Amino acid sequence: MGIKNDCRRNAEGYSDPTAYEALKNMEQEEERFHKLLDIIFALCELSDFHIEERIVIKDKRTGRIWR
Q: What's the maximum distance between 2 C-alpha atoms anywhere in the chain?
A: 55
Please give the Cα distance from 64 to 67 (Å, whole number). Answer: 10
**DSSP letter assigned to residue 9:** B
pTM: predicted TM-score of the whole model, two decimal places? 0.67
Domain boundaries, the chain: 17-66
Length of the chain: 67
Give residue 37's pLDDT: 94
In tens digits, the chain (67 residues) has pLDDT values of 444 567 788 777 888 888 888 888 889 999 999 999 999 999 999 999 999 999 999 999 989 999 9
Please give the Cα distance from 44 to 5 (Å, whole number). Answer: 40
Q: Are 7 and 21 in contact (CB under 8 A)?
A: no
